[in-house]
């Protein structure tokens, strides 16, 4: 089976703009760079990945471009721009120019805004207009309280390609379901919204069995189906709960249960169709695609 990782990170701590790391578990407060993942990714058979921003700075996005130029297994970058900046559109165009095809989309880290309605603010309109004009994707990093604002935004941005990061980050650790499930169903009714099959393992409380994920995964497949679910590792955040191989094996077993004839879509083709990278992953000749 062909494999593309649609969501992973690299960071170098001494760059200094990863403010969220100050309060993160100690195991994440170190560098995570391509050599740290290469053996695991090769063993898993992952041919390419989408590199997603981890700092709220354009400088970090340009740093990710540098990593991508040095490592062709990075298919492209989802970067960051201040969507409320008066010159947000010019900033987005400059990043797209500097990326020279590597910029696949943007992620403004909406989950970090105290206002749950932030995504619906008119001050963001120009940024979203530019995103659509350049045919860039939008990664929606939100939690359940922000899902209604995301829905209001997307009802205005009908042509925007959107992917919901980490399934909207349901509060699985505290057993919350309904406040997540209802807005997920409403978002899935919008045809251009996809969902990342990622980040769920780290929503478990320590010691929780992986079976706790079942009702959440059931709901994702019922709402989005295999045509709009996109697998990602969320490495190295993933390491808080398991290894790269463990999450891939678990995700594959869950997908096999729901859509055994669509694994190639969930684990590679959907990512490529959504992000539209110029680089093609170097799939091994022996990898049999499952229709």
What is the predicted pLDDT for the residue at 162?
98
Residue 288 has pLDDT above 50, yes or no: no
What does the pLDDT look like over 96-143, one tens digit per residue?
999 999 999 999 999 999 999 999 999 999 999 999 999 999 999 999
Q: What domains does the chain contain, in order, with CATH numbers? A: 4-275 (3.20.20.140)
Alpha-carbon gap, residue 198 to 28, rounded angstroms: 18
Segment 166-195 shows an average pLDDT of: 97
CA distance 149 to 168: 12
- More confident of the two residues 1 and 21: 21
What pLDDT does 289 receive? 40
pLDDT at 1: 86
pTM over cut 0.85: yes
Report residue 65's pLDDT band, with 50, 70 and 90 as the boundaries. Answer: very high
Place 284 in a pLDDT band, splitting at 50, 70 and 90.
confident
pLDDT of 74 reads 98
pLDDT for 82 beyond 70? yes
Tell me what percent of the residues of the chain surpass a pLDDT of 90: 95
Interval 253-265 mean pLDDT: 97
Quote the radius of gyration of the chain (alpha carbons, Å): 18
Q: Which of 196, 193, 173 is nearest to 183 (CA)?
A: 193
Instruction: Check whether 290 has a pLDDT greater than 50.
Output: no
- Long-range own/partner contacts, residues 22-27 (CB < 8 A, 24 or more apart): 25/240, 27/239, 27/240
pLDDT > 70 fraction of the chain, expressed in percent and rounded: 98
Q: How far is CA 51 from CA 63, 75, 160, 191, in A?
A: 11, 8, 20, 25
Segment 15-38, tens digit of pLDDT: 999 999 999 999 999 999 999 999
Q: Do residues 204 and 213 lie in contact, with contact meaning Cβ atoms separated by under 8 Å? A: yes
Q: Write down the pLDDT at residue 291.
A: 31
Cα 264 off chain centre by: 18
3-state secondary structure the chain: CCCEEEEECCECHHHCCCHHHHHCCHHHCCCECHHHHHHHHHHHCCCEEEEECCCCCHHHHHHHHHHHHHCCCEEEEEECCCCCCCCHHHHHHHHHHHHCCCEEEECCCHHHCCCCCHHHCHHHHHHHHHHHHCCCEEEECCCHHHHHHHHHHHHHCCCCCEEEHHHHCCCHHHCCCHHHHHHHHHHHCCCCEEEEECCCHHHCCCCCCHHHHHHHHHHHHHHHCCCCEEECCCECHHHHCCCHHHHHHHHHHHHHHHCCCCHHHHHHHHHHHHHCCCCCCCCCCCCCCCC
Q: What is the mean pLDDT of residues 237-264?
A: 97
Instruction: Output the average pLDDT for the chain.
Output: 96
Mean pLDDT of 78-102: 98
Question: What's the confidence (pLDDT) of residue 286?
Answer: 53
How far is the C-alpha of 236 from the C-alpha of 249, rounded, in Å?
A: 16
Mean per-residue pLDDT, 234-257:
97
């Amino acid at each position: 089976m062909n494999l593309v990782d649609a969501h992973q990170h690299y960071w170098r701590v001494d760059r200094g703009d990863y403010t969220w790391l100050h309060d993160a578990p100690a195991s994440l407060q170190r560098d995570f760079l391509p050599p740290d993942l290469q053996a695991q990714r090769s063993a898993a058979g992952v041919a390419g990945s989408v590199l997603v921003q981890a700092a709220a700075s354009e400088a970090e996005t340009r740093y990710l471009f540098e990593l991508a130029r040095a490592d062709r297994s990075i298919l492209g970058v989802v970067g960051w721009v201040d969507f409320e900046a008066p010159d947000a559109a010019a900033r987005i165009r400059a990043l797209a120019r500097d990326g020279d095809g590597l910029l696949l989309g943007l992620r403004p880290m909406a989950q970090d805004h105290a206002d749950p309605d932030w995504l619906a603010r008119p001050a963001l309109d120009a940024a979203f207009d530019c995103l659509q004009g350049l045919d860039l994707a939008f990664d929606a990093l939100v939690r359940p309280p922000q899902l209604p604002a995301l829905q209001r935004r997307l009802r205005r941005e009908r042509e925007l390609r959107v992917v919901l990061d980490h399934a909207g980050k349901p509060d699985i650790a505290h057993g919350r379901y309904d406040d997540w499930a209802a807005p997920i169903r409403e978002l899935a009714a919008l045809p251009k919204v996809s969902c990342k099959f990622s980040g769920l393992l780290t929503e478990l409380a320590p010691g929780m069995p992986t079976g706790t994920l079942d009702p959440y995964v059931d709901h994702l497949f019922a709402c989005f189906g295999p045509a709009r679910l996109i697998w990602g590792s969320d490495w190295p955040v993933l390491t808080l709960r398991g290894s790269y191989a463990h999450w891939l094996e678990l995700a594959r077993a869950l997908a096999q249960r729901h859509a055994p004839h669509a694994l190639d879509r969930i684990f590679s083709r959907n990512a490529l169709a959504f992000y539209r990278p110029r680089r093609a992953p170097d799939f091994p000749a022996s990898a049999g695609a499952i229709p």
